Homo-oligomer: A and B are copies of this chain.
Amino acid sequence: MSEQIRIGILGYGNLGKGVECAIKQNPDMKLAAVFTRRDPAAVSILTEGVKVCRVEEAAAMKDEIDVMILCGGSATDLPVQTPEYVQYFNVIDSFDTHAKIPEHFAAVDEAAKKSGKVGIISCGWDPGMFSLNRLYANAILPCGKDYTFWGKGVSQGHSDAVRRIEGVADARQYTIPVEEALERVRAGENPELTTREKHTRECFVVAEEGADLARIEEEIKTMPNYFDEYDTTVHFISAEEMKRDHSGIPHGGFVIRTGKTGWNEEYGDVIEYSLKLDSNPAFTSSVLVAFARAAYRLAKEGQCGCKTVFDIAPAYLSAMDGETLRRTML
């Protein structure tokens, strides 16, 4: 075993814990330290013998960490953290606010070029593996149409929105792709699908005692942006049922491109990529860790600046060398 890649985790929520678990599955890596904004004494991690530090201590440890995986949120954490920490480390994040990616890229690229480090942004499954599949399929089939479906899975944003309604003690929202729409796409019909035709939403709600259930249901179903354009089902359940049946964070989805080949576009093709995940953060973390290996190698080659999944040759993600990859996977 050659030298292990030393990984730092910044932010120890579901994603940070997922990264810790993924490192355990990759013998060419080791967890160097976890950084938290909380009191380190109050944060207990799974890996024995690894220290939990205050975020303020990170910069001073820049020579002890090869790649820092930033596990904060896209709304307020990462726009600040990624450009900041790429001053000291090769970094990687899962920034997922699609509309703000160009802005985030520019900020990280500028800081990374100054520091001579590599910063990989928007890594996970969407953006991430779904984006890669959109790119490959579009490059192969220039005459075609893209479809992305999400689910069945828990949307944290929609669950939070329901929790903010008066009288709601807890809530979980599942996004569900409409099977009939998927089948029409796969059949090459190239349908124009409305929001309502693509996904349905299902909510499980624990109401506070004495709350007006009819009003809660109405408020959910008519909530602008979140629910009003969807067919939504609401189920009221007990706190026990919530804990027993809905404590997981499953997710997944489908990226499909249908296209035409042939001199007169006489042939139809369907390219489909799908994920079915028991744990959204555990899988996202596994993607982050594979790309952290790439960040380490790119930096070793002397590269710097902001990269996305589009800019990284697939071989950089694998622990195997080129010869083994060609022999076993090509």
Contacts and interface: CB of A to CB of B under 8 A. Distances in A.
Interface of A: 18, 20-22, 24-26, 46, 98, 101-102, 105, 122, 127, 129, 131-136, 138-143, 186, 261-263, 266-279, 282-283, 285-287, 290, 293, 308-315, 317-319, 322-323, 325-327, 329-330
23 contacts: A21-B262, A25-B143, A101-B327, A129-B140, A129-B271, A135-B315, A135-B318, A135-B325, A135-B329, A136-B314, A139-B318, A139-B319, A261-B279, A262-B279, A267-B278, A267-B282, A269-B277, A269-B283, A270-B276, A271-B274, A272-B276, A310-B325, A311-B315
**5 closest Cβ contacts across the A-B interface?**
A267-B278, A261-B282, A139-B317, A267-B279, A310-B315
Contacts of A266: 278
Contacts of A131: 329-330
A268 B278 contact: yes
Contacts of A186: 276
Nearest to A28: B142
Nearest to A324: B102
Contacts of A138: 318, 329
Contacts of A283: 140, 261, 267, 269
Contacts of A309: 314, 330
A327 B310 CA distance: 12
Given A261-B21, A262-B282, A273 B273 contact: yes
A123 to B, nearest CB: 10
Contacts of A20: 263
A113 to B, nearest CB: 15
A322 B98 CA distance: 15
Contact of A313 (B105, B282, B285, B312): B312
A326 B313 contact: no
A140 B132 CA distance: 14
B136 A129 contact: yes
A136 to B, nearest CB: 6
A244 B71 CA distance: 58
Contacts of A282: 261-262, 267, 269
Given A129-B271, A140-B317, A310-B315, 12 more contacts: A25-B143, A129-B140, A132-B136, A140-B290, A261-B283, A262-B279, A267-B279, A268-B278, A271-B274, A272-B276, A308-B326, A313-B313
B261 A323 contact: no
A140 B285 CA distance: 9
Given A26-B142, A267-B279, A272-B273, A310 B287 contact: no
A21 B263 contact: yes
A301 to B, nearest CB: 13
Contact of A269 (B101, B105, B276, B323): B276
Given A270-B276, A278-B269, A330-B127, A313 B310 contact: yes
A113 B318 CA distance: 25
A132 to B, nearest CB: 6
Nearest to A273: B273
A1 to B, nearest CB: 15
A328 to B, nearest CB: 9
